[in-house]
Amino acid sequence: MTAPDSAAARYTGARVHRVEDARLLTGRGTFVDDIVRSRMAHACFVRSPLASARIVAIDACAALEMPGVQAVFTADDLNSGVHESWYSAMGKHVPDTPRPPLAEGFVRFVGDPVALVIAGDRYVAEDAVDAVEVEYDPLPAVADYATARDAQALVHEGYPANVAGGLGTTLPDALSAIFKDSAHHVSVTVHQQAYAAVPLETRGMVAEWSGDELTVWAATQSPHEVRAFLARLLGLAENRVRVIMRDTGGGFGQKVMPMREEMCIGLAAMKMRSAVKWIEDRRENLMTAGMSRHEHGETHFAFDADGAIRGAYIDHVQDIGAYPTPWPVGTAAAVGMLFPGPYRVPAAAFRTTSVFSNTSGRVAYRGPWQFESLAREVTLDIAARHMHMDPVELRQRNLLRRDELPYANPNGMPYSDVTPVETFEKALQMLDYDAFRREQAVAREQGRYLGVGMCNYIEPTASAMSFYGTEGATIRIEPSGTVNVYVAGGSTGNSLETAAVQLTADALGVNIADVRTIQGDTAVTPFGAGTGGSRSGSMIAGAVEETAAILRERIVAIAAEHLEAAPGDMELADSHARVKGSPTNAVPLTKIAEIAYFMPHKLPAGIPAGLEASARYQARSPVIWANASHVCTCEVDIVTGAVNLLRYIVSEDCGPMINPSVVEGQIAGGVVQGIGGVLFEHLPYDEDGNPLATTFMDYLLPTACDVPTIEYGHVETAAPGPGGFKGVGEGGAIGAPPAVVNAIADALAPLGVEVTRLPLTPAAIRGLIEAAR
């Protein structure tokens, strides 16, 4: 017997209102700081004021005498409790970098956690933090990763020249020969500054050890990773650890894995008789929750006389701070492997090197390999100017056409099912590129500096790598006929609930109002990797489909018997099972559920009682490729250096859209972060390793006033996966920086300015203009 496919998709593809919104927009969300437990204690870290020092002594006597202070833990108390500390996402066998819970013997960046105070409330905890006396013997700091390989000082003993590792190759002779032989060889070094995810909700955790079970409420993108990690960390059986998250206010990679502070809270909770709450404050978040994007790359592109790319190479160096999460060397490989982008590049190679510094550790951030696009697209614009070619023409000459797919780029990435020519064309049409160039020419005559910038990229989504390669769903149709769908979750605001509800409603042919979803509680949801790698849409769709197929078969069997019809003639729609072409010949799901649960004697032979099923989807391809083109225009005030973004256009192919509003929301969020990265956001350090942006006075995020209306052009080409869906979570943050940089560079080109260093603050732009004079 074959179950029918679900009725024609009713909700998938529609702008369904988000099911989370009523709760979130009326202040009824439940975030980790909303959790209150009986006699709950509050944690606050004593953090290093120095970038590098030996810890001579820690005296907590005065703190321990303060009323309300319950404990002060140091590395001696907590670190010995560590059993294992590897991440499911990376596996046990990567050559991971050090990650002690509390600093052992040495502090290695400003903010390094040295001790943990546990007190009756956070006020007292902060008073006690001030009372813990730590004596330091200052050491020279490696403040700048760019010179760290030549520094005398070492961030970690055991890593000579401060190098954590590298991959790839020095410039191969064959490629070098191509560069020499080509009509044009363009090489630049592109520098990107440190910036960070800056979620609206900072990190946080509540951990409660009952003597038998550890219950953890976490701000996380992956509750099951938190559970697995903490179980291993503490030497507990996995089924004795329960992790619960309802709402998390943004993660963007920062909350994809527990970090040192969360290790400390887990370890400390095991020693306390009541729950321990740690809520990171904003200063801690900016100082210690990790940085990203701090890297540079020497790029090489060779072109023939007509602008066709003949070869490409990048020598990439990234700052990993003192304590990166996760192992940064492997993730950096993606920068090199994706460097050729969506272009026809016959020969390429790369090298990447990860370098320690005495600064906040590198962490994952939305499109962690984003530098490949920045370096490539900025170089292409510089090359176009060098060759006196229009940057659009240069790109069009080299973009991969659909008839060339599948295409393996020379650095090992096998692209398929992408449409770079189509998205680029669409974005240019939306702008009316030629009209803009005319407007720009007129403006230049008036002494105004307008520019247009663009970026094409190709992006791996929904990776099937190990931990990420499967996703489970449980669907429970209740005796009343309402539906609950259970998936791992890890939604940080990215609409996983809406997606699960939409997909389930269509998969079962039920009304969306009858479907609810339960996510984020490891005790009740199937194992799953959570939000990360632009995977959730595709993977949840796969999991829901696998599970719904089981239930559809049972529903149809029960309904067919009830209606005395052939199962093959049945369809599911509007919360009914009905005979195709005879809509009145139908039975409601409520009745089917009643039979399934309360009238087992009426069940067809071989059909089990109840309407519950679990199944697990296994990704069918190693990766699902997505692509997009970003085009933006700007005006630069050459007196102040201020940039005014005029238009921002994204044309993307994320396959058929589950919900266009969610897709556009994801793109917008990423684009705003990318704009922020070019114009505003920066985590600078002084030469002694002191962080200079530890509040929102100095770490500037783009506001609604700083971002133009984002225009969307959707190209929908199916991927080889569930529903044809592709990932879309990260791309906005990848495509935006190069588009904005190139727009500014285009505006300033008449002044002889080349832009290769971020961020482009007004002062920096003003400096570039002066230097060009």
Partner 1 sequence: MKPAAFDYHRPASAEEAVQMLAEYGDSAKVLAGGQSLVPMLTLRLAAFEHLIDIGRLAPLQGIERRAGGVRIGAMTTQAAIERSTLVADAIPLVARATPFIGHFQIRNRGTIGGSCAHADPAAEYPAVLLALEAEFEVMSATGRRVVQAAEFFAGLWTTVLADDELLTAVNVPVWEGRCGFAIEEFARRHGDFAIAGAAVALQLGDDDRVRRCHVALLGLGMTPERAAEAERALNGIRVDEVDPDEIGRLAMEPLESIPSDVHGSAGYRRQVGASVVAKAWRAAAKEARGE
Interface with partner 1 (CB under 8 A) = 122-123, 126-127, 130, 281-283, 639-642, 680, 682, 684, 692-693, 695, 697-698, 700, 702-703, 705-706, 761-763, 766-767
Parallel/antiparallel/unpaired status of strands 576-579 and 570-573: antiparallel
User: Which lies closer to partner 1 via its Cβ, residue 618 or residue 703?
Assistant: 703
**Residue 70: helix, strand or coil by DSSP?**
strand
Rank residues 397 and 757 by Cβ distance to partner 1 and give the closer one: 757
In degrees rounded to 5, what are phi and psi of residue 643?
-110, 130
Nearer residue to partner 1 within complex by CB, 556 or 683: 683
Contacts of 571 (CB under 8 A, 6+ apart): 4, 7, 509, 577, 578, 579, 580
Within 13 A of 348's CA, how many CA atoms are on the CB side?
Answer: 28
d(C-alpha 740, C-alpha 631), whole Å: 8
* 84 vs 686 by CB, closer to partner 1: 686
User: How near is the Cβ of 731 to partner 1 at its closest, in Å?
Assistant: 25
Min dist. Cβ of residue 757 to partner 1 (A): 15
Residues whose CB is less than 8 angstroms from the CB of residue 598 and which lie 6 or more positions away in sequence, other chains included: 479
Residues 355, 148: contact at Cβ < 8 Å?
yes
Smaller CB distance to partner 1: residue 282 or 476?
Answer: 282
- Sign of the Cα pseudo-torsion (394, 398, 403, 405, in order): negative
Find, among 99, 134, 98, the residue nearest to 116 by Cα.
134
Residue 239's Cβ-count burial label (10 Å; 0-12, 13-18, 19+) is exposed
Judged by CB, which is closer to partner 1: 104, or 281?
281
H/E segment holding residue 391: helix 391-398
Least Å from the CB of residue 122 to partner 1: 5
CB closer to partner 1, 691 vs 735: 691
Cβ proximity to partner 1: between 62 and 700 the closer is 700
**Cis peptide upstream of residue 406 (ω within 30 degrees of 0):** yes
Q: Which is nearer to partner 1, 49 or 588 (CB)?
A: 49
- The least CB distance from residue 741 to partner 1, in Å, is 18
CA–CA gap between residue 405 and residue 441 (Å, rounded)? 38
Q: How far is the CB of 529 from partner 1 (least distance, A)?
A: 33
Residue closer to partner 1, measured from CB, 190 or 279: 279
| Type of residue numbered 356 | F
CA 207, CA 218: separation in Å to the nearest integer?
Answer: 8
Q: Does residue 449 sit in helix, strand or coil?
A: strand
**Measured from the CB of residue 195, what is the shortest distance to partner 1 in angstroms?**
13
In the complex, the smallest distance separating the C-beta of residue 703 from partner 1, rounded to whole angstroms, is 6
For partner 1, the closer CB: 78 or 143: 143
**Type of residue found at 154:** L
Shortest spacing between CB 133 and partner 1, in angstroms:
16
Give min distance, CB of 670 to partner 1, in A. 20
Residue whose CB is less far from partner 1, 115 or 164: 115
Closest CB to partner 1 among residues 37, 122:
122
CA distance 14 to 656: 11
Torsions phi, psi of 422, nearest 5? -70, -45
Cβ of residue 248: shortest distance to partner 1, in angstroms? 20
Least distance between partner 1 and beta carbon 595 (Å): 57
Are 334 and 300 spatial neighbours (Cβ–Cβ below 8 Å)?
A: no
Residue 641 CB, shortest distance to partner 1, in Å, is 8
> In the complex with partner 1, which residue's Cβ is closer, 127 or 471?
127
CB distance 285 to 250 below 8 Å: no
Contact in structure between 387 and 358 (CB atoms under 8 Å):
no
| Closest CB 645 distance from partner 1, rounded Å | 13
Distance CA 734, CA 722 (A): 24
Closest CA to 634 of 655, 617, 648, 652: 648
Contact (Cβ atoms closer than 8 angstroms) between residue 255 and residue 199: yes
Q: How far is CA 626 from CA 408, 492, 659, in A?
A: 15, 22, 16
Shortest Cβ distance from residue 283 to partner 1 (Å)? 6
Looking at the Cβ atoms of 23 and 282, the one nearer to partner 1 is 282
Cβ neighbors of 658 (< 8 A, separation 6 or more) are 12, 13, 499, 502, 503, 537, 541, 723, 725
Q: At its nearest, how many Å lie between partner 1 and the CB of residue 700?
A: 5
638 burial (CB, 10 Å; 0-12 / 13-18 / 19+) is middle
